[in-house]
Homo-oligomer: A and B are copies of this chain.
Amino acid sequence: MPTLTVTRRVHFNAAHRLHNPKLSDADNRRVFGPCNNPNYHGHNYELDVSVEGEVDPTTGYVADLGEVKRIVEELVLSRFDHKNLNLDVSEFRERNPTTENLVVAIWEILEGRLPGRLTRLILWETPRNYVTYEGR
């Protein structure tokens, strides 16, 4: 059977602040610029979740993307959407919520929980910035 990748795009929005408590305030401002605003700013995130596998001869699906959507909503969106990533999401109590750390955290949540093998996440922070992670 051929092997394909199927992708579901989901949306969430959140507030965050980029900040490393081990750096001085001046260094935080220098490194993170306006993203270091102590009062937070925010984004509409778009997340592409890709799973790879062979086509199931009974369904013609690699994976039921409706099921992928439900799992991502339950495990990720219910905890990240309309939240403050720094204050409301336990993964970012210790980690700086950059797009890079965000996509790795989402990988750790989803890996092994989806129908099919998770092979790629793409996370858009703005229409001009995105991060791709393939779990390596």
Residues of A within 8 A of B (CB): 2-11, 13-16, 18, 20, 22-23, 31-35, 37, 39-44, 50, 55, 58-62, 64-66, 81-84, 87-88, 95-101, 103-104, 126-133, 135-136
Contact = CB atoms under 8 A, between A and B. Distances in A.
A37 B12 CA distance: 14
A6 B128 contact: no
B39 A88 contact: yes
Number of copies: 6
Given A126-B13, A128-B9, A84 B37 contact: yes
Given A44-B44, A58-B20, A131 B13 contact: no
Main secondary structure on chain A at its contact with chain B? mixed
Given A34-B81, A41-B82, 13 more contacts: A2-B135, A4-B104, A5-B133, A9-B127, A13-B43, A15-B40, A15-B84, A31-B64, A40-B42, A42-B43, A43-B43, A55-B100, A61-B100
A131 B7 contact: yes
Contacts of A103: 4
B39 A13 contact: no
A117 to B, nearest CB: 14
